[in-house]
């Protein structure tokens, strides 16, 4: 377990704590609309993963290490069972958190998850590293970020996300990306198969293994959504149309409504009754 504390925001109160895990090279500020919109009825904890935001680096830049650090943080907060919400790479992290700590979650919310690897893991990792080596990590990130948006993405959201590029620790990101690819190809489906709590999938785009992204419409699916639906017994899929990769910022009310509706169902199913409160704590 990592010894260093992770930067976090801990606010609100309620019977079902919600933990928010950001994506690759992002930080907890991506959840600002959820911290505002959900904390009136739930304790909300948003975490900067190792190597991101205001948290220190981890010696191991892997999905497994990030999940262990997040689990350790929740242990220190005394949050034994929560609703885990992950965006993008955060979908992988919360899945791994439950794999490492099976009783951690009442339920999981995946926000615009994807696969970035084929089942040929070594070939996928080799392809990813060749692309980074050819263009440089900065150019790789720049192209990745430009692909986040669609025509309907508000300019304010686009500018907000792009401003975060200046805060990225490129060396850590370069070490982490191959782990994202390898985890997808080698662990993702096995981990999904062992999830036995309800899952909400909030999906807005589809991404292929060449990192080409496109919006989806209601009734459409993606390889990621199909994999979750096939592996997990209790899955609800909500498609948010006309937005890019950050539905929690581009369509915050729809995203919050979906999470709150799912949380109500989880509370009824699990009989959650213990209120947790630690308002206004920021570390």
Residue 243: both structure tokens together:
């937005």
pLDDT computed for residue 87 by the predictor: 98
Residue 272 pLDDT: 66
Burial status of residue 133 (CB atoms within 10 A of its CB: 0-12, 13-18, 19 or more): exposed
Tokens of 144: 């990745």
List of residues 6+ apart from 276 with CB closer than 8 A: 13, 14, 15, 17, 43, 79
Q: What is the pLDDT of residue 271?
A: 73
Residues 6+ positions from 222 with CB-CB distance below 8 Å: 114, 203, 205, 206, 207, 216
What pLDDT shows up at residue 171? 96
Three-state secondary structure call for residue 158: helix
pLDDT at 1: 35
| pTM for the structure as a whole | 0.94
The whole-number mean pLDDT for each consecutive block of 10 residues of the chain, a chain of 283 residues, reads: 76 95 98 98 98 96 98 97 98 98 97 92 94 94 95 95 96 96 96 98 93 94 97 98 97 98 91 53 43
DSSP class of residue 19 equals E
Query: For residue 81, which of 270, 282, 283 has the smallest C-alpha distance?
Result: 270
Query: Going from the N-terminus, what domains does the chain have, and what CATH number goes with each?
Result: 8-282 (3.40.50.1820)
């Amino acid at each position: 377990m990592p010894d260093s504390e992770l930067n976090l925001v801990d606010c609100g109160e309620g019977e079902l704590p919600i933990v928010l895990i950001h994506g690759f090279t992002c930080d907890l500020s991506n959840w600002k609309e959820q911290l505002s919109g959900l904390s009136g009825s739930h304790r909300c904890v948003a975490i900067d993963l190792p190597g991101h935001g205001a948290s220190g680096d981890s010696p191991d830049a892997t999905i497994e290490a990030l999940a262990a650090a997040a689990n350790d943080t929740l242990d220190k907060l005394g949050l034994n069972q929560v609703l885990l919400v992950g965006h993008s790479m955060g979908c992988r992290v919360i899945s791994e958190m439950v794999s490492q700590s099976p009783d951690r979650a009442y339920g999981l919310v995946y926000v615009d998850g994807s696969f970035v690897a084929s089942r040929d893991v070594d070939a996928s990792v080799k392809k990813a590293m060749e692309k980074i080596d050819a263009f440089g990590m900065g150019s790789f990130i720049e192209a990745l970020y430009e692909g986040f948006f669609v025509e309907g993405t508000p300019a304010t959201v686009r500018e907000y996300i792009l401003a975060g590029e200046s805060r990225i620790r490129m060396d850590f990101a370069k070490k982490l990306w191959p782990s994202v690819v390898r985890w997808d190809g080698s662990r993702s489906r096995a981990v999904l198969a062992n999830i036995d709590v309800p899952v909400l999938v909030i999906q807005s785009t589809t991404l292929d293994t060449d990192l080409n992204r496109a919006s989806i419409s209601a009734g459409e699916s993606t390889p990621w959504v199909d994999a979750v639906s096939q592996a997990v017994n209790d899955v609800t899929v909500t498609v948010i149309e006309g937005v890019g990769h950050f539905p929690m910022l581009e369509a915050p009310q729809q995203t919050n409504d979906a999470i709150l509706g799912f949380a109500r169902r989880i509370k009824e199913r699990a009989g959650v009754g213990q209120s947790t409160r630690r308002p206004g704590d920021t570390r």
